[in-house]
Structure 1
Amino acid sequence: MVHMGEAVAWSPSSVDEHLLLGLVGGGLLSRHPGMKRPEWIVPPSVHREPDPSAGYVVSFVRLHERGFNVPAGRFMRALCHYYGVELHNFAPNAISQAASFVAVCEGFLGIEAHWDLWVHLFRCELHTVAGGARGLRRPVLAGGLTFALREGRKDKYIPGSMTSNNADWEKGWFYLCNDGAGLPAYTGKVLTERPGRWGRGVSDPAKREQLDLLTGALHRLAEKGLTVAAVIANFHW
């Protein structure tokens, strides 16, 4: 039996203004207008863990490098609502999976991000780390939500694997303006269990015909050589 121990502590932020301006220059972060309500804030050195002001959430450099930006799109907001999570709960590869899915739907299938297709193809998993003692796991304060293709459906989507080069990504946190309150407010939520809805797929038989058409189109794209890596290389979400 797996037991859940104490959560892994936050690391002080390694972010500075130069780093965030680099994201701005690359089109991965909104410009800093220098107004009373800036688009982003470098955490003060006295903040050893996140403590954003009202109207701000906690984001990470790596999430923006993987395809996230504000204002958050409809699909991103739907992910937060359906899985019951906040922005800091997304692992970098979860953002990559979601962003590439949106790009495939819009750029190759010619449709808006299709929610039923998403839950048909992907399952949600809880990420934890070893706790030292046998059978003990520790929740993470950031990045506890990951996505993976469902078993038996990997041939229904374009091929690809997520990068494992995410070392120390959780140190790159900063405060991001929650434009229009599109994202859930930051509460420091920690994911400690996998709710049943995380594993649900599409059960309505009436929707299966359309899903078969869409997955057939994805299979043909894969046969032509389209990969997740190629999609990721060409988008900004």
Structure 2
Amino acid sequence: MAAEDLEWERSKISGQDMNLLKKMGFTKKENALRFPKEESYPSPPIEYRLHHQLTPNSILHVSIFITLCECFLGVQPNWALWKRIFCLRRNGSHGVAYNIGGVVICVRSDVEYFDVQFPDSVQGWRKRWLYVHEESSGSVEYNIAPFDGRAKIHRRRSWDAEATEEEKSRQRRDDSHP
């Protein structure tokens, strides 16, 4: 099966969506975002990456976590705390992993956390893909991987990994020296 035969729909980004992104300040830099034309399969230009790797609710989890750390706990968001609260799970239906939003961020079952009321449905979000210009960080470690529609999402044991004692210790040191 060719990569182009995988389940994709033409992006439904509208002029209204583009205006909202501009109003929100996401398009201040020239050519920061590119919108697909009549494409039914993503083919991002060089130096652009496909946007929507996470589900909308996963993005909300990230935002809440950053706000919790910075505004309420008074610490920098950190990996040790993140791994204590969250894990990942594969997103799909009927044995099929999604090409977009194939991984979902979840609160661990043994953790007490905010009772966040997520929308029951965010219909159509997978149809609103676009391209984001990648500004190189100078380190491959932090760059977004190029799009590969053939890539399969395979569950990994590391998705459930909690913070190691070393990570917890390092975080305690960092938190005590603001």
Q: 1:43 aligns with which of 36, 58, 69?
A: 36
3-state secondary structure, aligned to 2:13: coil
1:186 deviates by 2.5
Change (3 A) 1:198 1:25: same
1:175 deviates by 1.2
Q: 2:49 aligns with which of 57, 73, 93?
A: 57
1:190 deviates by 3.8
| One-letter amino acid of the counterpart of residue 52, structure 1 | P
1:204 deviates by 1.8
Post-superposition Cα deviations, 1:186-205, rounded to whole Å, max 9, x if no partner, equal: 23364432111001112428
Q: TM-score, normalised by structure 1?
A: 0.62
Q: TM-score, normalised by structure 2?
A: 0.80
**Unaligned ranges ≥5, structure 1:** 1-6, 60-87, 131-136, 215-237
Alignment of 1:121-132 (within 5 A): 121-130=85-94
Give the structure 2 partner of residue 140 of structure 1. 98
* Contact in 2 for aligned 1:142/1:170 (Cα 8 Å): yes
Tell me, yes or no, if structure 1 residue 120 matches structure 2 residue 73.
Answer: no
Could you say what the CA RMSD is over the residues aligned between the two structures, in angstroms? 2.4
Give the structure 1 partner of residue 144 of structure 2. 183
* Contact in 2 for aligned 1:8/1:138 (Cα 8 Å): no
Tell me, yes or no, if structure 1 residue 173 matches structure 2 residue 109.
Answer: no
Tell me, yes or no, if structure 1 residue 30 matches structure 2 residue 23.
Answer: no
Partner Cα separation in structure 1 for residue 72 and residue 19 of structure 2: 32
* Contact in 2 for aligned 1:139/1:190 (Cα 8 Å): no
Partner Cα separation in structure 1 for residue 166 and residue 12 of structure 2: 49
Change (3 A) 1:189 1:201: farther
Give the structure 1 partner of residue 56 of structure 2. 92
Deviation beyond 6 Å, 4+ runs, structure 1: none
Q: 2:110 aligns with which of 144, 152, 155?
A: 152
| One-letter amino acid of the counterpart of residue 147, structure 1 | I
1:116 deviates by 0.3
| One-letter amino acid of the counterpart of residue 146, structure 1 | V
1:128 deviates by 1.1
Tell me, yes or no, if structure 1 residue 204 matches structure 2 residue 165.
Answer: yes
Greater helix fraction, Structure 1 or Structure 2: 1
| One-letter amino acid of the counterpart of residue 42, structure 1 | F
Post-superposition Cα deviations, 1:179-233, rounded to whole Å, max 9, x if no partner, equal: 235433323364432111001112428838x78xx9xxxxxxxxxxxxxxxxxxx
Partner Cα separation in structure 2 for residue 10 and residue 91 of structure 1: 16
3-state secondary structure, aligned to 2:118: coil
Give the structure 2 partner of residue 15 of structure 1. 13
Give the structure 2 partner of residue 162 of structure 1. 118
